[in-house]
Structure formats: C-alpha cells, structure tokens
Structure 1
Amino acid sequence: MNIAILSGITRSAGGVFYAVSSLCKALVKQDVGVLVIGWGGTEFQEDLEAWGKVSVSSYKASGPLKSSLAVRHLLKTSAVDMVHQHGIWLDDQWAALQWQKQTGRPVIISPHGMLDPWAVRNSAWKKKLVGWLFANESLRKAACIHALCQSEAEAVRTYGLKNPVAVIPNGVVLPDFDHSTFNFQRPTRRRRLLFLGRIHPKKGLKELIEAWSLVQGAWRNDWELIIAGWDDGGHLDGLKTQASSLRLHWSVEELASDFCSRPSTLYFLGPKFGEEKDALLRSVDAFILPSFSEGLPMSLLEAWSYGLPVVMTPQCNIPLGFEQGAAVRIDPETESIAEGLRQFFSLPDDEQKAMGLRGRRMVEEQFTWEKIAEDMCSVYKWVLGGGSPPACVRFD
C-alpha cells in the first residue's frame, strides 16, 4: 500500500505540519509506503529533519493558491495507490482532483478545520471562487473525508457533503519525562500563562489581551501572559498597538527568571520551534487557547502532554478535556475569557496540578500517534477495497 500525502511540509503550515509529519512517521512504522509532496519554503532544509525517514518531495509554488505544475508531475510519476490531501482551498487540492480523474484512484481529504462554519465565512468570497473552480468538486469526489472530531464531522455535513466521514483525532509525541512526578511548587518568579501558535484573528488573541487588561489585582501581579508564535498577515502589530492603548506593560524580551524584576506582565516572544519550544513548554505553568475556530489543535495536545492545565473554548473541539477535568471553559469573548482567568487563578495549586496531570493521562490513553496510525491504516485499506468500513467511519 503506497500513499501520496499532499501537505504543507514546513513550519509555515502551522499545526498541520506537526500533525502530518508525526502521522507519516507513524505510518512508516506500520509498513505503509509514504511519499510526501509539498511546496517548500525558506525553512524547508531546516524542517526536513522533522520528517525522519519519510520520503519528502518539495516543489516551488507561487501566488495565493501556491500554484505549481511540478506537483502534477510529481503525482503523475509517483505510482501510488491513493492520495491523502491535507488542507483545502489551495492548488494541490486541484492537482489531486486532476490526478483522481486521470487515474481513477481514490483521494482522501483532511480539511483540518477548514470547513468549520467560522473558517468558511472568513474570506468567504475567495473560498466561493475557489470552491467553484475546483474545491467543491474535489470534496464531493473524495472517497472519504477525514474529520478530527465529531464537531468537524458535523461541519462536513453542514457544508453539504454526503461522503463517508472517518473521525480520527490528531495525536501527540509525549515528552521524554514522567510528569506524574512533577513538583508543582509556586516558583520564585511570576507564574506563566502561555499561548503558543499562529498569530491570527481566529485565535481570539485580541479578546485575550482585552481580557488580560480586566484581570486586576493580585492575580495579574502573580502571573505573566506569554504570546508566542509566528505572525500571520501582520496581526501581531495590531496586538501590540492594542496592548499599548490598554496601558499594559508589554515586552519582546526573553522571560526573567526572578520574581517581578520587570514591570511587564505581557510578552510577545515570536515563533518557537524544536528545542526552544520544548524549553518554553517546560518553563510555563498553564496554557490558554481562546479560539473562534479549530480543527483539533496540536497546541492543546502538546500542552497536556507537558502536564499543563488548560483554559480553552468549546470551539477547540476537544470536549473530552472538559469531561476529564483537564480544562477550564471559556467562550471567545472578552468578558468570558476574563471570568475564566479569574476562575482558574483562584484554584488552589494542587487543583491546577491535578488538572494538568488529568490532561497528561488523557493524551497517553487516547492521543498517541501509534493508535491513530492504526486507525488511519484501516481507513486506507477499506478505501482501497479491503472489506467492511472500520468503526471510525460514519455515513449519517
């Protein structure tokens, strides 16, 4: 069984890059032949290491759709049994549709939250045009749509698609330490609340900063808010301007190790990858994701894997986090975020620690890449004619 994976292959693809590279490495261990095809940016050589032993072919692309004839040539000469398309609205989805028509072989599509109603409304006219050109036909002709959660499966149906839907979550690579022995003592510095991800309006960062300005008194004096990630479309400058207008002390310096050595309680640290990201996650005390729209965010799974308690919205699409007592619920609105922060900060230290450890156990039990690769393999075999549909596939 040989599969071509179409996906962003560098960190510029955000969480999709980490999810797909981890899935592909797990599939190779399942003896699946994997060829990854994607456009390479300036980070390609640096990020190639993340793919391990997976075969990766890069091509140059241009324009807002990342258009290229090279992706079509690579598909034509690949001799694979099936294409698994990750992400939609770009030219590689069109190339996969053309390959499907030419060969009669199946395509599976993973939208990664891009069919969520909020996401569809964002830049709606552009998506209507791309939908008319190729995206809607591609989605209708897919042998199966891969949804990361039940909410995304419902979004697939809301969009009007009647394809079989396989519900398989993202996974996480567990850090190499046992967090059950973690010593959750109050540090000699301010405690740290982290957002780590793409700096984009859908992440609710504008609302988070406004909420931070409302959390007055001892709580904000005891905590720092850290916003780390890569700027998508110039959104970061607006956040800095907003913080200044709210008279928040903010900084782009690295974090201090001692208590209250600086007036800042808000930090913009820029993108963090590899060892820097690992060090940051090990140095913070809690994680927040106030998003308006997500597929199934890798950043939350990673936060739980480090034993961090989480503050998140239902739109993050991991209701299990609430059910397991690993997260505080907020809505992507200023007042709700502020109230959620007050609620979380008022929890005893032991309860904050217990929240994080419940999250760690949750990802250990349900979100490992080995299990997810097994489920994905069962879908591949079924699509290629291997008997009855697996239990993760729904038709309603």
Structure 2
Amino acid sequence: MKIIHYIPSIDRIAGGTSTYMQVLGKELGKLAEVHIITHSSDNPLPISNCEIHNVSVYNPINGRFKNEVSKLFDVIKPDLVHVNCCWMPACAFVQQMAQKRNIKVVLTPHGMLEPWIIKRHYWTRKLLALLLYQKAAIQNADCLQATAESEKENLLKLGYNSNIKIVKLGIDAESITMKTFWKKNKQLLFLSRVHVKKGINYLIEAADILREELQGYKIVVAGEGDADYVASLKQQIIDNGLQDIIQLIGGVYGDKKWELFQTSDFFVLPTHSENFGLAIAESLASGTPVITTVGTPWNDLNTSNAGAWIEIGTQPLVDTLRRFLSLSDEDLETMGKNGRKLIETKYSAKVMAEEMMEVYQSIV
C-alpha cells in the first residue's frame, strides 16, 4: 500500500504532532510505502523508513503549492492520503485534492477539535474557518482518527462525521533509557509547548501556595512558546516572588530533554486539553511518575499507580503536589517502574502502526 501523510510541520518546535509523525512513520514505513508531504523548517525531526517531500507554503494566489502537491499525487499514485491537523487551509486543500482524485482520506485532528480548543478564539477565528473549509473537511473525511475514547466522544458530539476509529498513540520505548535510581533530586519538571492551554498558571499558583514545602526544590519549565505569553508567565513568577523556585529555561531537545526526565522526581502537566500528551508517555518511559489532568486520556495513571490523574485547576494540583512531595524514594521507584511497564504493554509504536494499517485497509 502507498500512503501519503500531509502534516504542516515536522519541526521539533511543533511538539507532539511532529513527534507523532516521527514515531508512526518509523514503524508504518515497515508495513507500507510511506511518503510525507510537509514544509521545510529549521530543525525538522528525522523520520526513518519514509520519504519526505518539502513543498511550498500554501498560498491560494500563486498556485505553487497546488502544483507541487498535484505532481506528487500523480507520481506516487497513493492508495490513501492521511491528513494531520485542523484549522489550517492547507490541510483541507490537500484533502480536497485527494478526494477529487477518488483517493480515500483519513483525518487526524490531533486534539484540535476538542471543546476547549474550539471555544478558544471561536468568534474571531474558528467560526469563519468552520464555515469556509473546516466543517466540510470533517464531514467529507472517509475516517477520523481519535486517539482516545474521550476524543471519540467529543468528535461524535460535533455531529459532523460518525466514522471514527480509535488508534491510541504510542512511542518508541525501546529507544528510551529508564532511570536506574529514584533518590529525590528535589526537581519537578514541566516539559511541553508553552501555551495557555497547558495550565502553567496553575503550576505557578500552586507553587505560591506551597512555597514553604517547596523550599530547596526547583520547578523547571521547559518549552518554547509565544514570546508575549512567556513574558507574562515570567512576570507572574516575579510578582509572586518565586524566582528561586521556578525556572523557565526555553526549549530543550535530545540528550538534554532525556536528562531532565531522568533527573526529575516527577513530571507535571496541568493542561486543559490534550488528545494524548506525548511528553507524558516519554516521562513514564523514563521511569518518572506523572501528574496530569482529566483534560488528558491518562486515567491509566491512577489504575496502574504510575502517577495521578486529577481535576483541572489550582487546588487539585496543590493537594496532589503536597501528597507527591511527601512520597518516599521507594514510592517513586514503584510508580516509576509501573509507568515504564504501562508504556511497554499499552503504548507501543509498533502496535500503533499495526492498528493504523488496519484502519487504512478497512476503507481502501
């Protein structure tokens, strides 16, 4: 089978969507001929077992994007096109081009159709996009991929398309080294895109309440984001006098990222909404327990004793951080090993690729 994936970016700063493509592509490329159409960037992630095609940025006026994608369709002759992401006209345009050629299309929203995301900028951006192209793209897709039951339920509530298949995301756990000691390092980690939906403000507010218990601790906030928003977080930290506790260190990649996972006592992602949360999986694979919210599909954290899956907001985070700060080294080790086992048994990249192939075969 020949498969084309379109994804707006595979740059490292794109976060989870890029990592998803990297992980899926490596395993999917062992099962089919996979081509990835994207756009050039400064730091693209390497993706093995796939052929990557960089095309011009979408511009409805000059037609260069259309011509380049059309040529690739004609040369590759794909059996299926898989579109990743929403709200960008290029995604809907690639889908239209494929379906005009009677090529089946799978659409993966990557959490971009979750209620919290749709409500954000709804009247100024989302409504117009829905009217112009996004609603039609969702309705016309031959299949929507959800990554969790909760995302499927939210997609069904939209009422645009009921042909939804759940394929849970996975990671390449074999390539991730698990920590070998769990002695407290008095370091807590947030590592993700720095964005308002990630709930970093809750972490700052919780640290303010727990400043006495956090004396001697360091909360590392790693990630890139909009400069104005990053500046507002820094000001919030200063206003609360938390400069000695919370450090915003910018984006980290490669060995530095894995070092942070392995040297942190636990990982915190107090997010409003995630369709998966690859950083959660990476932390668990590293043997580091996780605190995250019901805005993610990670209820496994509670059932497997690998962390905590909590309500969204400051007070639930305060209560949970207080409990985690009192855990022994042995408690952290037990939770860390449980997390690694959870990833190995339920969130394998190989299983994800095999399940995705089953979806493709069911609609082609």
- Category of TM-score, reference length = shorter chain: over 0.9
Q: For 1:82 and 1:356, locate their aligned partners in 2 and report how far apart those are by CA, in whole Å.
A: 40
What residue number does 2:293 align with? Answer: 313
What residue number does 1:297 align with? Answer: 277
Identity of aligned residues (%): 26
Q: For 2:277 and 2:184, locate their aligned partners in 1 and report how far apart those are by CA, in whole Å.
A: 28
Q: For 2:299 and 2:320, locate their aligned partners in 1 and report how far apart those are by CA, in whole Å.
A: 16
Letter in 2 for 1:168: V
Count of matched residue positions in the alignment of Structure 1 and Structure 2: 358
Residue 360 in structure 1 maps to residue 358 in structure 2: no
What residue number does 1:235 align with? Answer: 229
Asked if 1 retains the 8 angstrom alpha-carbon contact of 2:193 and 2:225, the reply is yes
What residue number does 2:324 align with? Answer: 344
What residue number does 1:27 align with? Answer: 28
- Aligned positions of 1:112-127 closer than 5 A: 112-125=110-123, 126-127=125-126
Name the SS of the counterpart of 2:135 in structure 1: helix
Q: For 2:309 and 2:10, locate their aligned partners in 1 and report how far apart those are by CA, in whole Å.
A: 33
Q: List gaps (5 residues or longer) in structure 2.
A: none
Residue 54 in structure 1 maps to residue 50 in structure 2: yes
Asked if 2 retains the 8 angstrom alpha-carbon contact of 1:305 and 1:359, the reply is yes
What residue number does 1:246 align with? Answer: 240
- Aligned positions of 1:1-396 closer than 5 A: 1-7=1-7, 8-30=9-31, 32-44=32-44, 47=45, 50-61=46-57, 68-69=65-66, 72-77=69-74, 78-125=76-123, 126-174=125-173, 176=175, 179=178, 182-187=180-185, 191-217=186-212, 219-232=213-226, 234-249=228-243, 264-384=244-364
Tell me how far 1:171 sits from its aligned partner: 0.8
Name the SS of the counterpart of 1:80 in structure 2: coil
Q: For 2:41 and 2:33, locate their aligned partners in 1 and report how far apart those are by CA, in whole Å.
A: 25
Q: For 2:21 and 2:207, locate their aligned partners in 1 and report how far apart those are by CA, in whole Å.
A: 34
| Compared CA separation, residues 84 and 236, structure 1 to 2 (3 A) | same
Tell me how far 1:177 sits from its aligned partner: 6.7
Asked if 2 retains the 8 angstrom alpha-carbon contact of 1:59 and 1:70, the reply is no
Letter in 1 for 2:327: L
Q: For 2:175 and 2:56, locate their aligned partners in 1 and report how far apart those are by CA, in whole Å.
A: 36
| Compared CA separation, residues 74 and 281, structure 1 to 2 (3 A) | farther
Q: For 1:206 and 1:186, locate their aligned partners in 2 and report how far apart those are by CA, in whole Å.
A: 25
Asked if 2 retains the 8 angstrom alpha-carbon contact of 1:200 and 1:233, the reply is no
Q: For 1:75 and 1:129, locate their aligned partners in 2 and report how far apart those are by CA, in whole Å.
A: 30
Q: List gaps (5 residues or longer) in structure 1.
A: 250-263, 385-396
Q: For 2:235 and 2:246, locate their aligned partners in 1 and report how far apart those are by CA, in whole Å.
A: 13
Q: For 2:270 and 2:331, locate their aligned partners in 1 and report how far apart those are by CA, in whole Å.
A: 21
What residue number does 1:260 align with? Answer: none
Q: Name the TM-score, length of structure 2 as normaliser.
A: 0.93
Q: Point out the more displaced range, 369-378 or 224-233.
A: 224-233
What residue number does 1:254 align with? Answer: none
Q: For 1:340 and 1:376, locate their aligned partners in 2 and report how far apart those are by CA, in whole Å.
A: 36
Asked if 2 retains the 8 angstrom alpha-carbon contact of 1:146 and 1:165, the reply is yes
Q: For 2:99 and 2:284, locate their aligned partners in 1 and report how far apart those are by CA, in whole Å.
A: 42
Letter in 2 for 1:368: S
Q: For 2:70 and 2:340, locate their aligned partners in 1 and report how far apart those are by CA, in whole Å.
A: 43
Q: Name the TM-score, length of structure 1 as normaliser.
A: 0.86
Name the SS of the counterpart of 2:173 in structure 1: coil
Deviations 1:258-316 (A, max 9, x none): xxxxxx22111110112221222222221000000111010000000000011110111
Tell me the C-alpha RMSD between the 2 structures: 2.0
